[in-house]
Amino acid sequence: MTGIELGGGPITVGRASPEHAPDVELGPDPQRWVGRLHCTLDFADGMWSVTDNASVNGTLLRHGDVTERLQGRKRLQHGDTLLILGDMTAGGEPLYWELTFLDPHTTQPAPFGPPTPVRHTGPALRYDWVAARAYRVENGVETPITGLRPQGHQLLRYMAGRSTGGASVACDHQALITALWGPREEWAPHRSYTRSDLAGVVRAVRRCIEVDPSRPSILETVTGIGYRLNVSGPAT
């Protein structure tokens, strides 16, 4: 366990890369699950707050017995823990970096209202960010998804995380390629990733989440643009 004394902020948390070193470096991270500027801690008006910087895999905030995905800026309280996905086993079990905030001063708990569920009439997908589990939702019935590989989780986490209020979300090819393999400047020499590589990941995901992968209704193709994910409620 390593302790870091926070100064006046801002404090950046992320993955080191060429010409970039965050204040709190999470590594090693060969799969690039951690963003280069994953989240930021700021000090203002006598309190610390944390903001997720639109990271691909998101940041979880555990407060007491409640763990939720960090959205927007949140005040940190003594004992709060940030969970950042650092790896995933071959069986799809998430492994998190845990950063616990220790503050000797008494603070008041900030209210966290539960998200309002949004349901779709057709087949959709619900992604549980905390447990890294996906569920097919149809006619109000949830069916756990099995067999997803780590890149499949990466794809679904990225797309579900960009849904607003549980609405369907479309992402273009280049955004998805970057989400899966990182920015071009971080690719290995003489290696490139194309729409064909992306399509391979999409096919593997469809085999797991679709009733009929040849006629996808959850992860749909948007011709000439990319793919659309039909989401059931906000990603939790």
Render the burial of 52-87: b for 16+ CB within 10 Å, e for the rest. beebbbbbbbbbeeeebbbeeebebbeebebbbbbb
Residue 39 CA to residue 184 CA, distance in Å, equals: 21
Long-range contacts, 62-70 (Cβ 8 Å, 24+)? 63/109, 63/112, 66/112, 67/130, 68/112, 68/130, 68/236, 69/129, 69/130, 69/161, 69/235, 69/236, 70/39
Q: For residues 122-144, give the mean pLDDT.
A: 91
Q: Exposed (0-12), middle (13-18) or buried (19+): which is 208, by Cβ within 10 Å?
A: middle
Q: Which helix (H) or strand (E) holds 227?
A: strand 226-229
pLDDT of residue 104: 58
Task: Report the DSSP beta bridge partners of residue 128.
Answer: 133
Residue 128 CA to residue 147 CA, distance in Å, equals: 16
Q: Do 1 and 102 touch, CB atoms closer than 8 A? A: no
Confidence band for 102, pLDDT divided at 50, 70 and 90: confident
Greatest distance between any 2 Cα atoms in the chain: 57
**Among the four given CATH numbers 3.50.50.60, 2.60.40.770, 2.60.200.20, 3.20.20.70, the one describing domain 11-100:** 2.60.200.20
pLDDT digits (tens, 9 = 90+) for 6-31: 777 788 899 887 777 888 888 888 78
Class of domain 124-229 as given by CATH: mainly alpha
Of the listed ranges 26-35, 119-128, 154-163, the one predicted with least confidence? 119-128
Q: Do 176 and 158 touch, CB atoms closer than 8 A? A: yes
| Domain positions in the chain | 11-100, 124-229
Which of residues 115 and 215 earns the better pLDDT score?
A: 215
Residue 34 CA to residue 4 CA, distance in Å, equals: 19
